[in-house]
Structure 1
Amino acid sequence: MLVLSRKKNQSIKIGDDIEITVLAVDGDQIKLGIEAPKNLDIHRKEVYLAIQEENSQAAASVSVVGLQEFLKGK
């Protein structure tokens, strides 16, 4: 893991297309601004993990037989 120290209004760049700026520091919280291409999804980690879990559950609930029957009906 790369660890960087930044102050308010300072930024880091990730590649050519992503810039993360420290907007505010208040106690143990910081506010970050992220500039990135619109086609790039950005989520808080807990939201990302919840999406991954839902996708895994959805994929597990689809059976091969059910999928074959669905495709035959088309």
Structure 2
Amino acid sequence: MLVLTRKPGQSILIGDNIEVKIIDVQGDQVRIGINAPKDISILRKELMDEVRQANREAVVDSFGISLEELNRVLKE
């Protein structure tokens, strides 16, 4: 993982076409802006983690087995 220090108004570039800009810092919160092409998805990781967990629980509820066990059965 690359760790950088930036001040409000400063940016970092990812590749040629993604800019992450520090908008504001207040206490322990940082506001960032992201400029990226429309075909690039920008998602909050904690929300994706919640969706993945809900999907895992749905598999267990639907099939009564864990994802690992279901994966093992499907590979046989």
Settle same-fold status: TM greater than 0.5. Answer: yes
Cα distance in 2 for residues equivalent to 1:18 and 1:56: 32
Paired residues, number: 61
Residue 36 of structure 1 corresponds to which residue in structure 2? Answer: 36
Per-residue CA deviation, residues 18-73 of structure 1 (Å, 9 max, x unaligned), is 10000000011010000111111111111121233445566x459xxxxxxxxxxx
Percent identity reads 49
Bigger radius of gyration: 1
Where in structure 1 do 4 or more consecutive aligned residues deviate above 6 Å?
none
SS in 1 for 2:13: strand
Root-mean-square deviation (Å): 1.8
Q: Which runs of 5+ in 2 are unaligned?
A: 64-76
Q: Which residue of 1 aligns with 2:5?
A: 5
TM-score by length of 2: 0.67
